[in-house]
Amino acid sequence: MYSYLLLLCAITEVALCDPHGLFQRRSGVVPSLSGDPVVMGAGTYPRANFLSDGSILGAYAATVNDNKVLTLASSTDDGGSWSVKGSAATRPTNSSDLDNPYPLQLPSGRVLLAYRNHDKDASTGDYTFFRITISYSDDNGASWLFLADAATKPGGTIGIWEPFLRNAQDGSLQLYYSEENSADDQDSKMRTSTDGGTTWSDAQTISGTDITARDGMLGVATIQGSSLIAVFESEQGGLFTVKSITSTDDGQTWGNRQTVYTPTGTDNNAGAPQIVNVGGTLCVSFMTDEDTQEHNWINGAGAKLITSGDSGSSWGNKIEVFDPQANWPGLLTLDDSSFLYMVDFGGAKSQKIVLS
């Protein structure tokens, strides 16, 4: 069988033959924009996942008068249009910090939203308590209730940030997030839940134990089977680059720290990455100030994309998807050759991208 596939590889689609496995890649590696950006809603930090009914549930952080509102938007046409579906949490901006929403449907049909949910002193602005909170919806994102605080940390100057949820192959739920140890050190953490997000394991550090750097904003994609890749930003000496780690056991253990992207020029930044697998091609979004060189991160950042046709060993085919100023990009696979690139570009927007 393998020799037959090798032969077929050799005589047909050489470019699609991945050295790490045969015929894993069903798409090309060259991205191009398809159509115009579509408004998701007035807000920032857009993230989305498919529901079992084929619709997409998106989330973003909106500011409405004196409140932050974690807003859900639905699309029934693969991101061609969006309509507001509901809101999961609302808190005053001066006494709280509500942001970083990440939606995911469980196999049971329940939908979860993980988000940062911090308390602040309304007079001083100081953080008085940090939480990664999970809310749940049993009606596809229309109405929401509190489920759990999956991680907490006492108030102060170091907190917890940027949750990412993933359904593991064994039916458990994984929560990835970032935790600061000090002003110049932050690690990527992971907790698991076997009861749909009500209770959580202790946190395991999956990147950053052996290095003084600010690892953050992690996203995870499946390469194939139990083989996963996570991307995250890492800041050292004030400059951000994009790194990756991999897992061969569906996220239970992680290692193999690699550099995914270093910005061009001098003293420039590349951060806030996310990753998806699109037909076997890995696609990584990130923001970078390498073109404007403002050296005042995150000011001057545009939103770019790179791809890998060899399971993350090498990266290329860079394009700019949104001009500066574009913040906090996220990704969603649509099918084997297309995906949505979501970003705050004067509000939450989605852009369809095709691979050829």
Ligand X SMILES: *[C@@H]1O[C@H](CO)[C@@H](O)[C@H](O)[C@H]1NC(C)=O
Residues that bind ligand X (CB under 6 A): 66, 92, 94-95, 122-123
Which of 71/351 has CB closer to ligand X?
A: 71
Cite the DSSP H helix spans in 61-168. Answer: none
State the minimum distance, in angstroms, from the CB of residue 154 to ligand X: 22
State the minimum distance, in angstroms, from the CB of residue 121 to ligand X: 8
- φ/ψ (deg, to 5) at 143: -125, 150
Which of 53/121 has CB closer to ligand X?
A: 121
State the minimum distance, in angstroms, from the CB of residue 44 to ligand X: 19
DSSP 138-198: SSTTSS-EEEEEEEEEESSS--EEEEEEEE-TTS-EEEEEEEEEETTEEEEEEEEESSTTS
Identify the H or E element spanning 353.
Answer: strand 348-355
State the minimum distance, in angstroms, from the CB of residue 117 to ligand X: 17
Whether the Cβ atoms of residue 312 and residue 223 lie closer than 8 Å to each other: yes
Letter for the amino acid at 206? I
Nearest CA to 31 out of 257, 287, 282 is that of 282
State the minimum distance, in angstroms, from the CB of residue 92 to ligand X: 4
By CB neighbour count within 10 A (0-12 exposed, 13-18 middle, 19+ buried), where does 212 fall?
exposed
Whether the Cβ atoms of residue 331 and residue 353 lie closer than 8 Å to each other: no
Which of 93/337 has CB closer to ligand X?
A: 93
Which of 94/212 has CB closer to ligand X?
A: 94
State the minimum distance, in angstroms, from the CB of residue 63 to ligand X: 12
3-state helix, strand, coil in the chain (%, to 5): 5, 60, 35
State the minimum distance, in angstroms, from the CB of residue 99 to ligand X: 17
Here the contacts of 57-61 (C-beta below 8 Å, separation 24 or greater) are: 57/85, 57/103, 57/105, 57/111, 57/140, 57/141, 58/82, 58/103, 58/342, 58/348, 58/350, 59/88, 59/101, 59/102, 59/103, 59/113, 60/101, 60/344, 60/348, 61/98, 61/99, 61/100, 61/101, 61/115
Which of 13/66 has CB closer to ligand X?
A: 66
Which of 95/292 has CB closer to ligand X?
A: 95
How is residue 107 written in tokens? Answer: 């196999």
């549930």: which residue's tokens? Answer: 57
Which of 66/139 has CB closer to ligand X?
A: 66
Which of 63/224 has CB closer to ligand X?
A: 63
State the minimum distance, in angstroms, from the CB of residue 113 to ligand X: 22
Which of 95/293 has CB closer to ligand X?
A: 95
State the minimum distance, in angstroms, from the CB of residue 129 to ligand X: 17
- Per-residue DSSP letter, 296: B
